[in-house]
Amino acid sequence: MIKLVWLVPLLPLLGWMIVGLFGKKLSKGTIGTIASGAVFAAFAVSVGIFLEVTKHKGEFESIKLFDWISAGNFTAAFSFLVDPLSSLFLLIITGVGFLIHLYSTAYMKEDDGFHRFFAYLNLFVFFMLLLVLGDNYLIMFVGWEGVGLCSYLLIGFWFKNTNYNNAAKKAFIMNRIGDLGFLLGILLIFVTFGSISYKEVFDFAGATGAGLSGNATVTAIALLLFIGAMGKSAQLPLYTWLPDAMAGPTPVSALIHAATMVTAGIYMIARSNIIYTLSPVALEVVAIVGILTALFAATIGIFQNDIKKVLAYSTVSQLGLMFLGLGVGAYTGAVFHVATHAFFKALLFLGAGSVIHAMHHEQDIRNMGGLKKYLPITHLTFLLGTIAISGLPPFSGFFSKDEILARAYEHHEFLWLLGILTSMMTAFYMFRLYYLTFHGKFRGTHEQEHHLHESPKAMTLPLIILAALAVLGGLMGIPEVFAHHAHWLQNFLSPVFEKSEMRMLSVHPDVAHEFMLMGIAVLGAVASIYLAYNRYVKAENVPANDDEETSSVQKVIYNKYYVDEIYEAVITKPINKISGALYKFAELQFIDAIVNGIGNMVKQLSGLLRLAQTGNVGFYIFAMVISIIVILITKLF
């Protein structure tokens, strides 16, 4: 089965080709079936591969398809690496991907761009699979840029809308800033290790004799790669594209901007774990950027009123937590959180889509409320997702978040404290979102109320499956304090992280201590939920309208700390201004003026010389004689 891994990306690629080329001639049903079927088939193959990987002993070999780029001693082949990490990501991408495809067949039914949508979605899955399957950094980069392109296409899916187009462009360009870092990181890897294939790089870096621990070059590599991760996974300061990316259709937000693409940065660091382990400085940077992003985005999430924007900031925040995990060496915990987050965040986005669908494209939660009786399945599944993300046991989010926070505590208590603070805010804004949407009285128009309906089966079925995963997903990683050696995920991933684990001797806190940390986290979440309940259910508070006066702090946060405005003023505008000035002054009035000046000078000198051409033969003879004399004199001496 492992040998057949090329089928996994090939199937969605074929889906893309068929739908893309013949989509106009096919019915919507056929398109939906082909596109979803391709991803489902890829999922089936992935399951087979996964099962084989669980039984696999010894080293994981890469599977080479063909030579891609080779020049001198540089080679990059199109080849795939199947190991626990990539096989796990295969399952998430194709599994969650399939559910979202299925959901989209109903969600996008009325859209004119139906076939285009599925073509892009299939193409996205193809690139995402390349990203995690490549056995070297350049193939990862191919997938990396490819998913960026699909993200661009899907954010700007409704291309008549200028705001959406701007959001798409912003996402692409901001990602490109990160990509440059990634690219330079790859080049530094090549220059340092003479290769970009994982095996050779990690074997060399991980060899105890290499003495690379704390090496400045390794730190530079790690930081350059991390710049790439900051772009793709929307971390400070490159995060502002992700909230704007909500312009895309909601299934896109679920698949690309929550479950898969934005976690590519975590995959990249987890994949390169040995490089990061060798550089404590880089790990520290990752942890700090992660926790700061987590906190920062969470504060913004509290004040957002657009159902998708709340989820978007929540995604930024959760991604920050994953980076915190990576930064404190909880590689398994971070990957674990990627998985559980894929379940509950995809669920929440799809649930939000179901609400938006029912509300006729209304996204403002101030105009919702009381939806639980109209949308029972959406309501129940959304509630389960909300509990999971808030970290209440025994839902999945509890386990993965706890693992990250426990490691953060070992690293430094303050990081843990900030993590707890973030979790509390998360629980608060998520329940705020839940209560405002599903509880209380309906605040929309009569027309909207009249049309409220539960979504069709193709949409609710994915919700139910994802809800089950969001509830039970935590069982793949039961912490040591509950049961000995029950952390299946850790055992499964151990071949990937083993070189790092050897170097990071962590001191586990005693059982009582760990239970106490867990207890604080759970209590904090419960308190936040209680607060949200009091405010939005009991007191029936509804967030203020945009034109109402609010305190200045609230205003700053509501306007997302004016970060977009600052970027506009500090980066975008100056570049345009400088470019305009360069064009006007340097180009037209200086460089080109010099060129023309030389031309004119020659012309004028010729004009002077022309005066000598008088037609007077006597003058010519005189000039000739003078010249001969001059020549004779110079020759003589």
Residue count, binding to another protein (CB under 8 A): 49
In the bound state with another protein, the residue whose beta carbon lies nearer, of 26 and 149, is: 149
Convert residues 111-150 into a mask of x (bound to another protein by CB under 8 A) and - (unbound).
---------------------------x--xx--xx--x-
Q: Does 623 bind another protein (CB under 8 A)?
A: no
Q: Does 586 bind another protein (CB under 8 A)?
A: yes
In the bound state with another protein, the residue whose beta carbon lies nearer, of 71 and 636, is: 71
CA distance 236 to 227: 10
- Least Cα distance to 15 among 148, 140, 145, 129 occurs for 129
Q: How far apart are the first and last CA of the chain?
A: 92
Write the CA distances from 154 to 35, 123, 168, 252, 311, integer angstroms: 16, 11, 8, 7, 18
One of 29, 194, 574, 580 touching another protein (CB under 8 A):
580
- Least Cα distance to 271 among 121, 88, 394, 411 occurs for 88
Q: Which amino acid is residue 105, in one-letter code?
A: T
One of 14, 61, 111, 190 touching another protein (CB under 8 A):
190
| DSSP letter, residue 306 | B
- Least Cα distance to 158 among 124, 206, 223, 112 occurs for 112
- Which one of 408-416, 417-425, 502-510, 592-600 is the stretch in contact with another protein (CB under 8 A)? 592-600
Q: Based on the number of CB atoms within 10 Å of its own CB, is 425 exposed (0-12), middle (13-18) or buried (19 or more)?
A: buried
CA distance 293 to 321: 8
CA distance 415 to 418: 5
Q: Measured over all CA atoms, what is the biggest interatomic distance in the chain, rounded to whole angstroms?
A: 118
One of 72, 211, 607, 618 touching another protein (CB under 8 A):
72
Q: Does 527 bind another protein (CB under 8 A)?
A: no
**Structural element, H or E, at residue 155:** helix 137-155
Rg (CA), the chain: 30
One of 527, 587, 623, 627 touching another protein (CB under 8 A):
587
Write the CA distances from 240 to 6, 227, 296, 450, integer angstroms: 35, 15, 12, 37
Q: Does 553 bind another protein (CB under 8 A)?
A: no
Q: Based on the number of CB atoms within 10 Å of its own CB, is 226 exposed (0-12), middle (13-18) or buried (19 or more)?
A: buried
Contact 192, 153 (CB under 8 A): no
One of 176, 199, 366, 535 touching another protein (CB under 8 A):
176
One of 51, 191, 207, 605 touching another protein (CB under 8 A):
191
Q: Does 160 bind another protein (CB under 8 A)?
A: yes
Minimal distance, residue 76 CB to another protein, in Å: 9
In the bound state with another protein, the residue whose beta carbon lies nearer, of 552 and 606, is: 606
Q: Does 39 bind another protein (CB under 8 A)?
A: no
In the bound state with another protein, the residue whose beta carbon lies nearer, of 166 and 541, is: 166
- Which one of 426-434, 496-504, 550-558, 572-580 is the stretch in contact with another protein (CB under 8 A)? 572-580
In the bound state with another protein, the residue whose beta carbon lies nearer, of 70 and 534, is: 70
Minimal distance, residue 123 CB to another protein, in Å: 11
In the bound state with another protein, the residue whose beta carbon lies nearer, of 191 and 631, is: 191
One of 103, 118, 172, 323 touching another protein (CB under 8 A):
172
Q: Does 567 bind another protein (CB under 8 A)?
A: no
In the bound state with another protein, the residue whose beta carbon lies nearer, of 152 and 198, is: 152
- Least Cα distance to 314 among 262, 272, 383 occurs for 262
One of 42, 49, 108, 188 touching another protein (CB under 8 A):
188
CA distance 407 to 345: 23
Note the residues at the interface with another protein (CB under 8 A). 66-74, 138, 141-142, 145-146, 149, 152, 156, 159-160, 162, 165-166, 169, 172-173, 176-177, 179-180, 183-184, 187-188, 190-191, 575-576, 578-580, 582-583, 586-587, 591-592, 595-596, 599
